[in-house]
Structure formats: C-alpha cells, structure tokens
C-alpha cells in the first residue's frame, strides 16, 4: 500500500515530535512492506512567518490531495498580540474545517508501567481506558457572531455557542459506533442545566441513543464529569461532548494517565483525516530535545488505523510504545524521581527498534 501523507510540523515542539513520529511510521511501513510518500508544509506560526497566513493555500491543497495529514502542534507566543485571524491557532481551526474533520477522537489509556507518573493512586487509575469523542467543528470555536468592540476601557467581547441538530446527531453516531466496539457505554457530557446548546445536545443524543439499544447511555454535567474523571477514571468508556468541553476534559485525562505528552488524536469524518498529539506547542521546552514524542507517535497509529485500515500496523506501534515504557524509557515529563530521562530522539529510536522487533515476531 502507498501511505501518502502531508506532514505539518507547525510550531514549538511540533517539528521535534513529528520527526520521531515519521521515523516510526517509516519503520512500520518498511517492516510491513508499504511505501511512504511525504510532503512537509507550513502551518501556524511557522506559516505566518513565511507568508503572513497561518494556513497558506498551498498547505491546504497538499492536505486535500493526500491520504492523511500528520500535524505536530500550533501556537507561538510571538503572535500573541495578532488579531484572531492572524494567530497560529486560526490555521489549525481552518485546517480542521477545510478537511471537514468534525469528529475528534482522543483516547486516554493508562499504561501499567506508568504507575509512578500518574498523580492518582495506582488502584484508582489502573485500568483506565477512555475514548473522548469531541465535536470539533461547532460550538463557541466557530459560532458567529464573534467580536471585541468598543473603546478601550469599555470594550465588550462576544462569542457564540451554536449547535444544530445535524451537527449533534453526526457526532453522536460516531460515539455510539465506537462504543459498540468497546465496553458499550457512552457518557454524554453537557451543561444542560444552563445552556440551550446543551439542552438540544442532550435531546438529540438521547434520540440517537435509542437506535443503539445495546449501548448504555448516561448524561453528566461537565463540572461533575470533571470531578468524576479524577475520582473514578475507570468508570468511563466513551465520553461524548461538544468542542470546548472536550478540549478541557482531554487535557485533564492526559493528567490522569500520567502526561498530556502521551495523548494522541484523530480528527475524522471529512474527506481527509487529520492526526495530531493532544499536547500543544509547549514553547517553554521547544528546541531542547526533551519533548515526549509518544503522543505524536501514537497519532500515527491512529492514522494507520482510521485512514488506511492498517490495524495490524497500528497495533504494532501501540505495542511498541507499551514495550518501551515497560522497559523504563521515560522522557522528562514521565521520569519523576525514579527514572533517568531520555531525549525526544532516543525515545523515538527506542520505539523504532521495538516496532522492528514486533514486526519480525508477527512475520
Ligand atoms: C487542542 C488545542 C487547540 C484547540 C488549540 C491550539 C486551538 O488546544 O487541539 O486541544 O483548542 O482545539
Ligand atoms: Mn486543547
């Protein structure tokens, strides 16, 4: 098979982690007899610096013509004072929209080797395996009108949270379909005691849920869900939620399983899938070679699974990550007091070696 990708390294630690992810992907492809074809394009602050556009036309064209898109991270303090449409993040939101990627899957799985890395007691976190299904193209992120207006000192800012029934319905279906392949539980997270958007959300999700009789559907307000996520993380299977709640809860889930640096994501549902680690550009550690590449590496596993239906190859990457963690490989974010930290590149190397070993075992 030909695995043709557009790689968008982006800002901060994005280029460092995607470099390792690409090396792992190439090792898997080689081991399983696939070809890879990659082109790199700028996005975010990197693109702003080159073209004054956080998503140049050439970048989006390349994405639309490839089998999948692998993204590093977007965001840079250099552009903090730019108007909204000239911030790096605008490039990310536009690429999601242009690709039609409305379903953002963010798994948060606890690796048994990481008992020392989670802030939670082992008996609480052990067995955690959550799939957050975050709606990615609606809500306050995209709702119109939005503005900051008025004279300095008396300005007023407006954002609009907006959801249509069809937007809620399509993301609900994604969650229920995933639940059917998992433990058959969906927890829909909203704020229906306050927000109209959430009341519609709950109604539509309940309606769609009737088509999935085998799936147990629950509803939880987002504040309460946030608390339960640290108290009883193993109770969660599929979490279905709107754009901003999903943004917040997925970072929290990263903390629960030990590090945000571990979390991968897939943004699917449109013409081309977009895969990115959940962590941001982390400007404070950019260029130091200490970032955790596992979120990016695990994103390539999701890419192989969801855009190329290469389940065995995806599992090989996930198995390799689990193996290197069991052997004690730790980047700074995971090392704590008990382990010596290795660099981004060393972690990438270790996964490459483990992937090759696993592939030989299967072959
Ligand atoms: C994420 C990020 C983005 C988001 C930012 C960088 C726009 O935090 O992917 O979670 O809020 O969606
Ligand atoms: Mn986020």
Q: pLDDT, tens digit, for every residue of 168-216? A: 999 999 999 999 999 999 999 999 999 999 999 999 999 999 999 999 9
3-class DSSP string for 130-197: EEEEEECCCHHHCCCCCEEECCCCCCEEECCCCCCHHHHHHHHHHHHHHHHCCCCEEEEEECCCCCHH
Q: What is the torsional sign of CA 72, 77, 79, 83?
A: positive
Contact 29, 3 (CB under 8 A): yes
Place of tokens 């996520």: 229
pLDDT at 13 over 90: yes
pLDDT at 114 over 80: yes
Q: What is the pLDDT of residue 159?
A: 98
Distance, CA of 142 to CA of 146 (rounded, Å): 9
pLDDT at 262 over 80: yes
Q: What is the pLDDT of residue 308?
A: 98
pLDDT at 280 over 80: yes
Dihedral over alpha carbons 45, 47, 52, 58 (to 10 degrees): -150
Strand partners, 68: 5, 273
Q: CA neighbours within 13 Å on the CB side: how many for 330? A: 20
Determine the average pLDDT of the residues in 129-151. 98
Alpha carbon of 286 to ligand 2 centroid (Å) = 18
Find the ligand nearest to 93 CA.
Answer: 1
Determine the average pLDDT of the residues in 335-351. 95
Place of tokens 């140049």: 56
Residue 156 sits at φ, ψ, to 5 deg, of -130, 135
Distance, CA of 113 to CA of 116 (rounded, Å): 8
Strand partners, 135: 103
Strand partners, 230: none
Query: Whose Cα sits closest to atom 6 in ligand 1?
Result: 89
| 345: alpha, beta or left? (left if phi > 0; alpha if psi -120 to 50) | alpha
Catalytic residue among 116, 129, 216, 251: 251
The atom of ligand 1 lying closest to the CA of 136 is 12
pLDDT at 362 over 80: no
Q: Calculate what percentage of the chain has a pLDDT beyond 90.
A: 97
Contact 43, 63 (CB under 8 A): no
Contact 82, 90 (CB under 8 A): no
Q: Which comes out higher in pLDDT, residue 360 or 206?
A: 206
Residue 293 tokens read as 């590449």
Confidence of residue 122 (pLDDT cuts 50, 70, 90): very high
Alpha carbon of 248 to ligand 1 centroid (Å) = 9
Alpha helix ranges (H) inside 181-242: 196-209, 222-231
Computed over every residue of the chain, the mean pLDDT equals 97
Q: What is the pLDDT of residue 3?
A: 98
Angle at 303 between CA 69 and CA 88, to 5 degrees: 35
Query: Whose Cα sits closest to atom 5 in ligand 1?
Result: 89
DSSP 216: E
Query: Whose Cα sits closest to atom 4 in ligand 1?
Result: 247
Q: Which helix (H) or strand (E) is 268 found in, with range? A: strand 266-268
Determine the average pLDDT of the residues in 281-295. 98
pLDDT digits 0-9 by tens, 69-84: 999 999 999 999 999 9
Confidence of residue 258 (pLDDT cuts 50, 70, 90): very high
Contact 169, 136 (CB under 8 A): no
Angle at 155 between CA 150 and CA 157, to 5 degrees: 105
> Is 141 among the residues known to form the active site?
yes
pLDDT at 12 over 90: yes
Angle at 316 between CA 310 and CA 319, to 5 degrees: 140
Catalytic residue among 11, 190, 247, 333: 247
Catalytic residue among 41, 53, 102, 141: 141
Confidence of residue 359 (pLDDT cuts 50, 70, 90): confident
Confidence of residue 360 (pLDDT cuts 50, 70, 90): confident
Query: Whose Cα sits closest to atom 11 in ligand 1?
Result: 247
Strand partners, 107: 131
Tell me which of 55, 89, 277, 278 to substitute to probe ligand 1's pocket, judged by most ligand atoms within 8 Å of the beta carbon.
89
pLDDT at 57 over 90: yes
Tell me which of 92, 95, 255, 261 to substitute to probe ligand 1's pocket, judged by most ligand atoms within 8 Å of the beta carbon.
92
Alpha carbon of 247 to ligand 2 centroid (Å) = 5
Alpha carbon of 342 to ligand 1 centroid (Å) = 27
The atom of ligand 1 lying closest to the CA of 276 is 9
Q: What is the pLDDT of residue 254?
A: 96
Tell me which of 280, 282, 295, 299 to substitute to probe ligand 1's pocket, judged by most ligand atoms within 8 Å of the beta carbon.
280
pLDDT at 363 over 80: no
Q: Which residues are near ligand 1 (CB < 6 Å)?
A: 74-75, 89, 92, 247, 278, 280
By residue count, the chain amounts to: 363
Q: What is the CA radius of gyration of the chain?
A: 20
Query: Whose Cα sits closest to atom 12 in ligand 1?
Result: 247
Q: What is the pLDDT of residue 336?
A: 87
Give every CB contact of residue 32 below 8 A, 6+ residues apart in sequence: 310, 312, 313, 316, 359
Q: What is the pLDDT of residue 358?
A: 86
Q: What is the pLDDT of residue 323?
A: 97
Q: Calculate what percentage of the chain has a pLDDT beyond 70.
A: 100
The atom of ligand 1 lying closest to the CA of 244 is 11
Determine the average pLDDT of the residues in 122-142. 98
Q: What is the pLDDT of residue 240?
A: 99
> Is 163 among the residues known to form the active site?
no
Query: Whose Cα sits closest to atom 9 in ligand 1?
Result: 278
């Amino acid at each position: 098979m030909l695995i043709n990708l557009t790689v968008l390294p982006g800002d901060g630690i994005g280029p460092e982690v995607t470099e390792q992810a690409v090396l792992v992907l190439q090792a898997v492809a080689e081991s399983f007899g696939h070809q890879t074809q990659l082109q790199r394009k700028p996005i975010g602050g990197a693109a702003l610096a080159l073209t004054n556009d956080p998503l140049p036309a050439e970048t989006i064209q390349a994405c639309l013509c490839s089998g999948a898109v692998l993204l590093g991270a977007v965001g840079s303090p250099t552009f903090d004072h730019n108007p909204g449409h000239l911030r790096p993040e605008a490039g990310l939101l536009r690429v999601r929209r242009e690709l039609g990627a409305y379903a953002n899957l963010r798994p948060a799985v606890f690796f048994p080797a990481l008992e020392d890395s989670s802030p939670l007691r082992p008996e609480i976190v052990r067995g955690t395996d959550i799939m957050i299904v975050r709606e990615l193209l609606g809500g306050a992120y995209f709702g119109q009108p939005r503005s900051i207006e008025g004279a300095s000192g008396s300005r007023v800012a407006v954002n609009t949270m907006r959801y249509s029934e069809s937007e809620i319905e399509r993301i609900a279906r994604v969650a229920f379909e995933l639940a059917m392949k998992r433990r058959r539980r969906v927890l829909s997270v909203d704020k229906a005691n306050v927000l109209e958007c959430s009341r519609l959300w709950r109604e539509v999700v309940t309606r769609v849920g009737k088509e999935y009789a085998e799936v147990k559907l629950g509803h939880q307000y987002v504040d309460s869900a946030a608390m339960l996520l640290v108290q009883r993380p193993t109770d969660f299977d599929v979490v279905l939620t709107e754009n901003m709640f999903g943004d917040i809860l997925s970072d929290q889930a990263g903390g629960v399983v030990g590090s945000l640096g571990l979390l991968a994501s897939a943004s699917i549902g449109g013409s081309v899938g977009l895969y990115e680690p959940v962590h941001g550009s982390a400007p404070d550690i950019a260029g130091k070679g200490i970032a955790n590449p596992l979120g990016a590496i695990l994103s390539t596993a999701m890419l192989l699974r969801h855009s190329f239906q290469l389940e065995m190859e995806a599992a090989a990457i996930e198995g390799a990550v689990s193996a290197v963690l069991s052997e004690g490989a730790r980047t700074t974010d995971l090392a704590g007091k008990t382990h010596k930290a290795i660099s981004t590149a060393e972690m990438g190397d270790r996964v490459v070696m483990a992937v090759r070993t696993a592939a030989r075992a299967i072959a």
